[in-house]
Amino acid sequence: MASTSSYSSGTQIQIRFITKQDKYSVADTPFAVPCSIVSDELNALLKELLNESSSDDAHKSIIFDFAISSVLLRQALDKHISEVGLSTENIIDIEYFEKFPSPEPEDCLMHDDWVSSVQVRGDWILSGCYDNNVYLWTKKGKHILTIPGHTGAVKSVAWVSQNNGIASFVSASHDQTAMLWEWNMAENSVECVHVCRGHERSLESVAVDERAERFATGGWDSLLKVWSASLHRTDDNSLEETSSKKSKKTSTKSQTREKKKGKEKEGRKRRREEEENEKKEEEEENEGEKKEKKKEKEKKKKEKEKRSRRRRRGRRRRGRKKKKKKEVEEEEERGEA
């Protein structure tokens, strides 16, 4: 058994080490540790136990992470136990596992504005941006297409399907529309098949069902709308729901950016104005609530003062009656004398 003398100060808690990684397992015998012990000290203690139970030195360079009730230990043991709602009267099972470094980015794909949404399907990355555009990339970071069409920030994107060299996806925007796109992968060209109108405020999210038959959009108008994801074109919706603008094959981002510069600038300005108006409306609502609360508070204060005045008047009346009664009694006593 490893010595715990270097950790034996203060109140003790009974613990037991457990793990799903058999190569690092130790005896599950409970033992006492200080309630204030932290991860670094648990690491040192665990390595002492591993040294006693194994001649393999592989664990010496490994750092372990610890969890109690499936919550990572990031503070002193007693504080953690209190937060997860366990009793220090019981034996505390501490699960440990090898700690791996956090992942680091392999590449950086630059956009001209905030990136609001990203979705990956197979070898392709779809991103939505506040510059009103949708972007297509390979997983290796190569830019494939810049797709204009929206007049407001693209807030959400989602893949619909990828079959036989034809892919489809949907984008939702601050301009109150969702657009269903068809991408010819061989020709590297994109066409907007349908423009979905019906929301009265900005769209914030979009999701596609598992069978790729429908998609749903959610907006600031408190509505959830469900749409067909079919790429089939019909005459009755060609004017309202279909945009015949076809995005040509784009070799660089700058080519499309120059063509749409004025439109993008106007879209950004309109977006900022709408966001400022929304913010102003929220502030006005908050101000109205504050005024109502202030009025209510003043009303309660006046009622309290009114009750207080009534009590004071009552006390004065009772005092006068008492005084008068006393004077009468004294007068009667003098008369009897």
Stretches where the chain sits below pLDDT 50 are: 1-9, 236-254
- Is residue 154 domain-resident? yes
With b for 16 or more beta-carbon neighbours within 10 A and e for fewer, the 21-42 pattern comes to eeebbbeeeebebbbbbbbebb
143 & 179 share domain: yes
What CATH number is given to the structural domain containing 197?
2.130.10.10
What CATH number is given to the structural domain containing 75?
3.10.20.90
Which residue, 24, 83, 70, is CA-closest to 50?
24
SS3 content of the chain, % helix, strand, coil (to 5): 35, 30, 35
- Give the per-residue pLDDT at 10: 61
- Give the per-residue pLDDT at 176: 94
Chain segment 167-204, per-residue pLDDT in tens: 999 999 999 999 999 999 999 999 999 999 999 999 99
Chain segment 62-103, per-residue pLDDT in tens: 889 999 999 999 999 999 999 999 988 899 999 999 888 777
- Give the per-residue pLDDT at 268: 77
The DSSP code for 144 is E
Domain carrying residue 298: 292-336
- Is residue 269 domain-resident? no
- Give the per-residue pLDDT at 21: 87
Rounded to whole angstroms, the Cα distance separating 171 from 119 reads 11
Which residue, 132, 156, 160, is CA-closest to 146?
132
Two structure tokens written together for 283:
């502030």
Rounded to whole angstroms, the Cα distance separating 212 from 313 reads 78
Per the structure, the count of domains in the chain is: 3
Assess contact for 172 and 217: CB atoms under 8 A: yes
183 & 126 share domain: yes
What pTM was computed for the model?
0.48
63 & 131 share domain: no
- Is residue 236 domain-resident? no
122 & 208 share domain: yes
Q: Which helix (H) or strand (E) holds 82?
A: helix 77-84
